[in-house]
Structure 1
Amino acid sequence: MKLRTPAVVLLAAATALSLAACRDSRSDGAGGTQTNLKIMVGGIDKVIYLPAKLTEQLGYFKEQGLTVDLATQQAGVNAENSLIAGDVQGVVGFYDHTIDLQTKGKCLQSVVQLANIPGEVEVVATAKADQVRSAADFKGRKLGVTDLGSSTDFLTQFLASQHGLKAGTDFTEVKAGAGSTFVASLENGQIDAGMTTDPTVAQLTSTGKGKVLMDMRTVEGTKAALGGLYPASSLYMTCDYVAAHQDVVQKLANALVKTLKFVNTHSAAEIAEKMPADFAGGNKDLYVKAINDTKSMFNADGRMPADGAANVLTVLSQFSPNVKGKKDTVDLSKTYTTRFVDKS
């Protein structure tokens, strides 16, 4: 028998360790499941997407053996572009993108539905509050949306349409972004009102610069404004990725559902305490208020309500250029799945 030299033994051991490390970081040895991945969030500091960062803060991703890099884009439409380009493996954003993209031949799937309502608020500048009391008063106004072609764009058009108003002819939509850019737009008169989320809502109302016109942070407010549930915040991924990496998707679902249960069993103050200090923007009390005003939007199990998905399709079929005239071609069953959260 030929004896191997110490150098050969060391080289063989190093090679084995290297191969094992590759398996640990890239696959499960059978289906190519990743454990290092990047997820884009459509505004990581928005309370409507709070579960993403909270899951990281609580250590639930690591608990599942995942290393998740959370990146951010202030508009969901930009986040979806990153997913389609393959720059990220998942997006925490509005579910409606899965429907919109299906009509363009792209298959995206919500694997964890974080909320069954939008969490959006139509805020009017305090100086215009006496003039703009409902969507019927949108006529002749400049209305802020996150971005043209965004979820807030479609929702704004839907609210106006209930009073016979059309974008471009009866009112003007303005790209106002979120956070400080939205606040500035409302302050300097670039917009009369607009759709945004917490903590921006809390900032505007607490300073007296804005007033709530329509509140879709509650089930009641959402049904009043949109005629039913409107599933929004979700983790969605390409159908190809879901099919090829079911193990990692299951781990993501396990982590996020555990976070949803945490949100539903802890106070806003307790949740805020777990979040990065800079998310409070120097005003922790205001941040706690923002979470408290919004936290009821999150469901406890990550499941998609079928009637809610149908309502989203109804809205998009009227105002999304991609979905108009194609409602009957959309297969909603391909836009979401509950099989992962059912196992969590």
Structure 2
Amino acid sequence: MSLLTGRVRVSLSAAALAVSVLTSLPALAAEKIVIIVGGMEKQIYLPAVLTERLGYFKDEGLDVELINSRAGVEAENELLAGAVQGVVGFYDHTIDLQSKGKYIESIVQFSQAPGEVELVSTKQAANTKSFADLKGKTLGVTGLGSSTDFLTQYLCQRAGLKAGDYTLLPVGAGNTFVAAVKQDQIAAGMTTEPTIGRMLKTGEASILVDMRTPEATEAALGGPYPAASFYVQSSWLAKHRDDATKLANAFVRTLRFIATHSAEEIAEKMPADYYQGDKALYVKGLAEGKAQFTPDGRMPKNGPETVLKVLAAFNKNIQGKPVDLAKTYTTDFVDASR
């Protein structure tokens, strides 16, 4: 054997050893992405938990932790503080925050309607036929500065009421909302499924304004109202486009699942405690509101303009200020999703 041949064999052996060592090492763990949801049990935010339950985050190689919040405004504050990387909340926060000099972007649009209903207490129903009849009343919202706050103020303003004509009370959702109605703390309030179905079944409340479908939303607000979305800080997005791409892939896959499966099939994938002891009622609410979800994660046409119009009607932070809607959302990631 020549010296050259020996050197080649040694080199090949070293290369083989290196490959063996590298392939035996465990794969580097993905960096954890924490997403806060403005109420994981609410059906309007169902795509977040459903994505996790279907295993789509893992399919993308993502390590995602979902944490719960009482209201979207609380989730928004956690995002701005840097405590989380993303939020599942209402798109309208992107516009509200831009008016305050803070930039966040929706990268996947979950819904094209709020999925919200203004419920009026049965004790008040006989004398309440429209928002104009709520003058002098206390109205429930999930939190001050929340999307239910925004929508309530707009509907009051549209009915001719001024800010001092009513009082807003943060009552959360679910059991706390139900308790506020039962204890006469609020005459009416805005909430979502499954709380809607629960209160209608017991007869403790009736529907005053329904915004669970695109058609009903257009009648109430004058156009499509993109609501539930996945948004992040623009500064984070600029540095984590690969993660954003994977998250968009996972969420869009879930929205396609929702579009092609029945309410019963979707409910089967959700945690049983979300049914609140009545699975049939949960399925009924989901069937009635399933049309709120987009089939592909894209922003509905003219949706941002409707949201801006709604907020500008009462929000002094927005009135008279230029808002660049192009910086409140992007379709780049859903357009490129598999």
> Structure 1 length as normaliser, TM-score?
0.89
2:142 aligns with one of 125, 139, 146: 146
Quickly say closer, same or farther: Cα 1:333–1:306, change in 2 above 3 A: farther
Counterpart check, 1:79 vs 2:75: yes
SS at the partner of 1:247? helix
Give 1:148 shift.
1.3
- The amino acid that maps onto 2:30 is S
1:164 aligns with one of 152, 160, 164: 160
1:130-209 equivalence runs, <5 A: 130-167=126-163, 169-209=164-204
Counterpart check, 1:267 vs 2:262: yes
CA distance in 2, matches of 1:171, 1:106: 30
1:246 aligns with one of 241, 247, 262: 241
Specify the alignment match of 1:216 in structure 2. Answer: 211
Q: Which runs of 5+ in 2 are unaligned?
A: 1-6, 8-16
Specify the alignment match of 2:35 in structure 1. Answer: 39
1:94 aligns with one of 90, 93, 96: 90
Q: Which runs of 5+ in 1 are unaligned?
A: 2-8, 27-35
CA distance in 2, matches of 1:321, 1:73: 27
Counterpart check, 1:332 vs 2:325: yes
RMSD over equivalenced CA pairs, Å: 2.0
CA distance in 1, matches of 2:33, 2:289: 28
Q: Given that residues 36 and 67 in structure 2 are in contact (C-alpha distance below 8 angstroms), is that contact kept between their aligned partners in structure 1?
A: yes
SS at the partner of 1:25? coil
Give 1:17 shift.
4.1
1:314-333 equivalence runs, <5 A: 314-326=309-321, 329-333=322-326
- The amino acid that maps onto 1:81 is N
Specify the alignment match of 1:30 in structure 2. Answer: none
Q: Given that residues 64 and 255 in structure 1 are in contact (C-alpha distance below 8 angstroms), is that contact kept between their aligned partners in structure 2?
A: yes
SS at the partner of 1:303? coil
CA distance in 2, matches of 1:97, 1:17: 44
Specify the alignment match of 2:52 in structure 1. Answer: 56
1:294-309 equivalence runs, <5 A: 294-309=289-304
Give 1:146 shift.
0.9
Q: Given that residues 108 and 239 in structure 1 are in contact (C-alpha distance below 8 angstroms), is that contact kept between their aligned partners in structure 2?
A: yes
SS at the partner of 2:129? coil
CA distance in 1, matches of 2:314, 2:160: 13
Give CA deviations for 1:113-170 in whole Å, capped at 9, x if unaligned: 0011111100011121111111121111111111111111111111111121012x21
CA distance in 2, matches of 1:290, 1:161: 29
Counterpart check, 1:279 vs 2:241: no
Give 1:293 shift.
2.0
Q: Given that residues 149 and 320 in structure 1 are in contact (C-alpha distance below 8 angstroms), is that contact kept between their aligned partners in structure 2?
A: no
Counterpart check, 1:128 vs 2:124: yes
Specify the alignment match of 1:342 in structure 2. Answer: 335
- The amino acid that maps onto 1:333 is A
Specify the alignment match of 1:33 in structure 2. Answer: none
CA distance in 2, matches of 1:321, 1:43: 27
SS at the partner of 2:299? coil
SS at the partner of 1:152? helix
Give 1:237 shift.
0.3
- The amino acid that maps onto 2:47 is P
- The amino acid that maps onto 1:336 is Y
Specify the alignment match of 1:293 in structure 2. Answer: 288
| Deviant stretches of 4+, over 4 Å | none
SS at the partner of 2:66? strand
